[in-house]
């Protein structure tokens, strides 16, 4: 069977590339200006296109924000795979691995996250993504701490997961660094000890 | 039986002259601050109401607003002071000599009440905090008070920990019982006030070490 040659639509490809550059320009500006949202003129200037080019690809700034958030979440997932042997590592290794990964994610995305939180307004799309992001954090902890969570009743498990989510929130990390003046290692230790206290201990496992 | 004698005639107290104009001006200021607070509570999607909105709500002219608050920043700082005083007045430390579970419940319920009442103002202040050093100071004070309260309420349990671990636990508690953490319990997870308190009580109870038996509560 012979394969048909795939015809690449060069115009479409260029348009996608332009979209991508606009998203990256927005991201760079959001990091610099957070929590202020960059204007269309600022984004266009940074990306090297006209304002019209932006609105040809995104109907409004809100649609661009949604695309930026989706792109960022994909990057976050790619850069923060589960470590520490997933649910198979020992308790200490899993807690430390999770804290390290989560801390790096928080440091990387703090400014964009703040911009997103402050500017979500009444946008159902942005609110949905914020919720999705928190759900992913919770899902990761369900994976990493599966052995400990399995020791709990469903309601207790739910409560502990919500408390863990609050403890390891992006702003919690930011406060440790900016307000309490902790180093990266000290901040990780706060979370490690906090998680260790919140999770039940298996009688056979070392503390 | 001893008798208390009036030792000497009391000096006449000086007559305090009340400046009615100043009093009215202070009252106007207060009403403007209250109008700002009402607007941020009612319209959380608009955390920075305009001077025109505030003036209309207070029943004064925009000029009256700016005569008393030269910048909206000054008004926000006054609102933050009002919010801090209000929070302190409505949330005195209770049951500090109670047993462990009484103290945890008392602290959590007080903190939850403060969060419930204060979240709208807190968000409005956060929205503009980067432009205003005076606001940063107020928000720092609010966090420090939260930590001091926990140090007071959980003194017997905290005293068994080495200094660094004690500090770390207080920072963890502060994160867990943050005002936005409370807002998520209510808005995102859909918990009632009582369910939110139950979650915090369970979490604090898990994280707090046990004080040696017979240790004084405070």
The span from the CA of A199 to the CA of B202, in Å, is 12
Give the number of beta-carbon pairs within 8 Å between A and B. 75
Residue recorded with tokens 């509570």: B41
**Angle subtended at Cα A172 by Cα A27 and Cα B36, rounded to the nearest 5 degrees:** 80
Smallest Cβ–Cβ distance between A197 and the set B184, B198, B207 belongs to B207
A156 touches chain B (CB under 8 A): yes
Smallest Cβ–Cβ distance between A176 and the set B171, B203, B206 belongs to B171
Residue recorded with tokens 């319920």: B109
* Model-wide pTM > 0.80: yes
pLDDT of B4 reads 45
Q: Which residues of B touch A176 (CB under 8 A)?
A: 171, 175
The span from the CA of B135 to the CA of B122, in Å, is 11
Residue B118's nearest CA partner among B196, B56, B73, B182 is B182
Band of the pLDDT at A91, cuts 50, 70, 90? very high
Which helix (H) or strand (E) segment holds residue B127: the answer is helix B100-128
A128 touches chain B (CB under 8 A): no
Cβ(B108)–Cβ(B197) below 8 Å: yes
Q: Where do the domains of chain B lie?
A: 92-218
Q: What is the ipTM of this complex?
A: 0.84
pLDDT of A37 reads 85
- CA dihedral B158→B159→B165→B169, nearest 10 degrees, is 10
End-to-end alpha-carbon separation of chain A, Å? 61
pLDDT, tens digit (0-9, with 9 covering 90-100), for A191-206: 999 999 999 987 655 5
CB–CB of B143 and A189 under 8 A? no
pLDDT of A12 reads 78
Smallest Cβ–Cβ distance between A171 and the set B169, B180, B207 belongs to B180
A180 touches chain B (CB under 8 A): yes
Torsion over CA: B142, B148, B151, B153 (sign): negative
B203 touches chain A (CB under 8 A): yes
The yes-or-no verdict on residue B218 having pLDDT over 60 is no
pLDDT of A9 reads 76
B130 touches chain A (CB under 8 A): yes
Structure tokens at B86: 């209000």
Torsion over CA: A53, A59, A61, A65 (sign): negative
CB–CB of B172 and A194 under 8 A? yes
A171 touches chain B (CB under 8 A): yes
Q: Which residues of B touch A163 (CB under 8 A)?
A: 176, 199-200, 202-203
- Cα–Cα distances (Å) from B95 to A109, A153, B149, B156, B170, in that order, read 41, 31, 12, 13, 19
CB–CB of A175 and B45 under 8 A? no
The yes-or-no verdict on residue A125 having pLDDT over 60 is yes
A163 touches chain B (CB under 8 A): yes
CA distance A165 to chain B (A): 9
pLDDT of A207 reads 45
Cβ(A136)–Cβ(A55) below 8 Å: no
CA distance B202 to chain A (A): 8
Q: What is the mean pLDDT of residues A30-35?
A: 84
Which residue of A lies nearest to B196 if distances are taken between CA atoms? A159
- Cα R_g (chain B), whole angstroms: 22
pLDDT of B3 reads 41
The span from the CA of B181 to the CA of B186, in Å, is 9
The yes-or-no verdict on residue B73 having pLDDT over 80 is yes
pLDDT of B88 reads 87
Peptide bond into B64 cis (omega under 30): no
pLDDT of B2 reads 41
The yes-or-no verdict on residue A87 having pLDDT over 70 is no
- Cα–Cα distances (Å) from B27 to A46, B30, B73, in that order, read 50, 5, 19
**How crowded is residue A179: how many other Cβ atoms within 10 Å of its Cβ?**
16
End-to-end alpha-carbon separation of chain B, Å? 38
The yes-or-no verdict on residue A130 having pLDDT over 60 is yes
Max CA distance (Å), chain A: 66
pLDDT of A84 reads 61
The yes-or-no verdict on residue B117 having pLDDT over 60 is yes
B172 touches chain A (CB under 8 A): yes
A103 SS3 class: helix
A179 touches chain B (CB under 8 A): yes
Smallest Cβ–Cβ distance between A198 and the set B126, B200, B207 belongs to B207
pLDDT, tens digit (0-9, with 9 covering 90-100), for B145-183: 999 999 999 999 999 999 999 999 999 999 999 999 999
Structure tokens at A130: 């914020």
Supply the DSSP string of A106-159, one letter for each residue. Answer: HHHHHHHHHHHHHH-TT-HHHHHHHHHHHHHHHHHHHHHTHHHHTTS-HHHHHH
The span from the CA of B46 to the CA of B74, in Å, is 18
């Amino acid at each position: 069977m012979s394969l048909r040659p795939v015809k690449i639509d060069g115009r479409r490809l260029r348009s996608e590339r332009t979209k991508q550059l606009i998203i990256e320009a927005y991201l760079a500006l959001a990091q610099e200006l957070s929590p202020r949202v960059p204007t269309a003129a600022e984004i266009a200037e940074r990306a090297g296109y006209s304002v019209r080019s932006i609105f040809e690809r995104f109907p409004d700034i809100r649609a661009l924000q949604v695309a930026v958030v989706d792109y960022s979440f994909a990057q976050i997932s790619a850069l923060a795979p589960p470590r520490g042997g997933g649910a198979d590592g020992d308790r200490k290794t899993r807690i430390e691995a999770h804290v390290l990964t989560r801390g790096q994610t928080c440091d990387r995305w703090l400014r964009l996250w703040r911009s997103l939180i402050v500017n979500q307004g009444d946008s159902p799309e942005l609110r949905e993504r914020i919720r999705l992001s928190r759900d992913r954090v919770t899902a990761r902890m369900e994976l990493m701490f599966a052995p400990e969570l399995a020791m709990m009743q469903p309601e207790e498990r739910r409560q502990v997961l919500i408390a863990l989510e609050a403890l390891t929130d992006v702003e919690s990390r930011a406060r440790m660094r900016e307000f309490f003046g902790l180093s990266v290692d000290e901040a990780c230790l706060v979370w490690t000890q906090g998680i260790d206290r919140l999770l039940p201990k298996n009688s056979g496992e070392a503390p | 039986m001893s008798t208390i004698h009036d030792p000497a005639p009391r000096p006449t107290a000086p007559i305090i002259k009340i400046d009615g104009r100043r009093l009215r001006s202070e009252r106007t200021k207060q009403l403007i601050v209250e109008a700002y607070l009402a607007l941020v509570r009612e319209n959380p999607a608009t955390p920075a109401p305009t001077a025109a909105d505030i003036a209309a709500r207070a029943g004064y002219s925009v000029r009256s607003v700016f005569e008393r608050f030269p910048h909206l920043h000054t008004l926000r700082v006054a609102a933050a002071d009002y919010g801090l005083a209000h929070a302190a007045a409505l949330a005195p430390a209770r049951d500090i000599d109670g047993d462990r579970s009484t103290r945890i419940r008392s602290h959590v319920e007080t903190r939850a009440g403060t969060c419930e009442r204060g979240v709208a103002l807190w968000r409005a202040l956060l929205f503009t905090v980067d432009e205003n050093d005076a606001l940063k100071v107020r928000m720092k004070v609010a966090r420090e008070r939260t930590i001091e309260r926990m140090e007071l309420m959980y003194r017997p349990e905290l005293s068994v920990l080495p200094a660094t671990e004690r500090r770390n636990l207080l920072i963890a508690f502060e994160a867990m019982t943050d005002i936005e953490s409370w807002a998520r319990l209510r808005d995102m997870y859909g918990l009632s006030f009582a369910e939110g308190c139950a979650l915090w009580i369970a979490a604090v109870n898990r994280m707090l070490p046990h004080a040696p038996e017979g240790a004084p509560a405070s």
